[in-house]
Chain A
Amino acid sequence: MRNKLEEAKNIMKVAVKEDTTAFAKEIQRKCGQDVLTCYQCRKCTMGCPMAFRMETKVNELMRAIQLGLRDEVLSADTMWWCVSCETCATRCPQGIEIVEVMDVLRETAIKEDYYIPVESIEAFHKVFLRSVEAYGRLYEMGFAMDLNLMLKDPLKDADLGPVMMAKGKLKLRPHKVKDLKSVKKLFENVRKLEESRV
């Protein structure tokens, strides 16, 4: 009995610790979304097309944020499986723009070097932006090939290449924008400004 009481007290401590809401407030500061208003109706998870792959479901992630479990949340797989389809945000009765929360979590996890459980997705974003920075536009074929190399699966989708080629859907060379300088500048300026804020 005594043990049970102690246990309950400990649980209470987690729930009411002064800085419990600090993480939710950090998220609110970064994107304006108040996760503390989530009341666990689970509508988000029910409509999520990616729920079947998520170890931590969307509503569980929201709860963990409310409980201030910062490390657990930032190393969760949820935001890496999320495809930003906006179904959850559209249906949330509390009007939480869940995708904005996902974006903050992805951005923060990358910046703070958290382990990213779905490696391929991180690679996808990296290779994509590398192409945009280099040419000003996405070079689709180069992007697909770079991504396969990064995922150590160079022949992935190799059968699709000739099909697309025959249909005139693949460009063999990237289109570089004329004013590449301003693109490089844009990327550099973003990095500079973000670094100055850390």
Chain B
Amino acid sequence: MKYAYYPGCSLESSAKEYDLSIRACCQYAGVDLIEVPDWICCGASSAHATSHLLSIALPAKTLVQTEKMGLHQIIAPCIACLTRLKVADMEMEEHGDLKKDVETVLESTYKGSVRVRNILDVFLNDVGLEKIEKTVTTPLTGLKVACYYGCLLTRPPHIAQFDDVENPHSMDDLMRAIGAETVDWSFKTDCCGVSMSLAETDVALELTNKVLEGARDAGADCVAVACPLCQSNLDLRQKAIGNKFGVFYDMPILYFSQLMGLAFGATTTDVGLEKVIVNPFPVLGAI
């Protein structure tokens, strides 16, 4: 199974452990990742808030590069990148004039042959739960995980085309396949407010606090995420939340791929466990 791989800007620095753990899991699961050479930023929320054409042209460049690599599927672990790549592909397919504009801007053509894939979808449907269960050497028995999907993994449904939009379970299925327990909670798809995290920190703290409170009340040992923006927002500001709301959650926020990697037998360094801010070792101690 060969896929083009688009790490995106966060996975190069603040979310290095997501990159490490995805690569480790893929190796165990027989998924071949070939990094798009010299890839550029997808423009994230800033491009679509300011120029529609720019917001399509930036990710379209990566799609064109993927075609040039001779590959037809691309994986973007960051959900924001994933959404931008998908939107670019779909909008160019739907609107011929937009596609023409983008091709003028990029000074190259796009055949439209690339499928943009969500990493959870690849593990669930290409690799399959059966193979994942078989690859587990260290089941995470007894670990209670709150799976947090955030905004864009399932929304908007016509773009994401993945899982149940109000009560998704794909990550829960994966976590159970590696032996963990998953908790039922109401904040799976609530927004963590990350796009306000730098510019309007107080607003982000309000939303983050609710998510962490929900996870704690559901009895979770840790929260699993699949997006570098959710991770950093939930992990990095727990001290600030404590100072503001008087509750120190001390809730480890881990990428689902870190937990999966550990279950597959990777070392803690292989999956970058030391890079997480809220210390996850106590809750993983027994494993």
Chain A residues packing against B (C-beta within 8 Å): 31, 49-50, 52-53, 81, 83-87, 89-90, 97, 99, 103-104, 106-107, 110, 118, 120-121, 123-126, 128-129, 132, 136-138, 140-141, 144, 147, 151, 156-157, 160, 163-164, 167-171, 175, 177-179, 182-183, 185-187, 189-190, 193-194
A-B pairs with beta carbons under 8 A, tally: 156
B149 CB to nearest A CB, Å: 12
Residues in B whose Cβ lies below 8 Å from that of A121: 196, 199-200
Instruction: Give bound CA distance, A83 to B41, whole Å.
Output: 20
Contact B41 A90 (CB under 8 A): no
A49 to B39, CA, bound (A): 33
Hey, which chain A residues are within 8 Å of B200, CB to CB? Answer: 118, 120-121
Q: How far is the CA of A186 from the CA of B156 in the complex (A)?
A: 28
Instruction: Give the size of the chain B interface in residues (CB under 8 angstroms).
Output: 56
In the complex, what residues of A have CB within 8 A of residue B201's CB? 156-157
- Closest residue of B by beta carbon distance from A159: B239
**Does A106 lie within 8 Å of B50, measured CB to CB?**
yes
Interface majority SS (helix, strand, loop, mixed), chain A: helix
A140 and B191 form a contact (CB under 8 A): no
Determine if B40 is an interface residue (Cβ-Cβ < 8 Å).
Answer: yes
Contact residues of B: prevailing secondary structure? helix
23 residue pairs of the A-B complex, CB under 8 angstroms, read: A49-B191, A53-B203, A83-B196, A84-B195, A86-B155, A86-B156, A87-B155, A103-B48, A107-B49, A110-B50, A124-B46, A125-B49, A125-B50, A129-B47, A129-B50, A136-B40, A140-B14, A167-B275, A169-B16, A170-B13, A177-B38, A178-B38, A186-B58
- With A49-B191, A86-B156, A107-B49 as known contacts, state yes or no: A137 contacts B9, CB within 8 Å: yes
Closest beta carbon of chain A to B33's beta carbon, Å = 18
Q: Are A177 and B193 in contact (CB under 8 A)?
A: no
Inter-chain contact B156/A90, CB cutoff 8 Å: yes
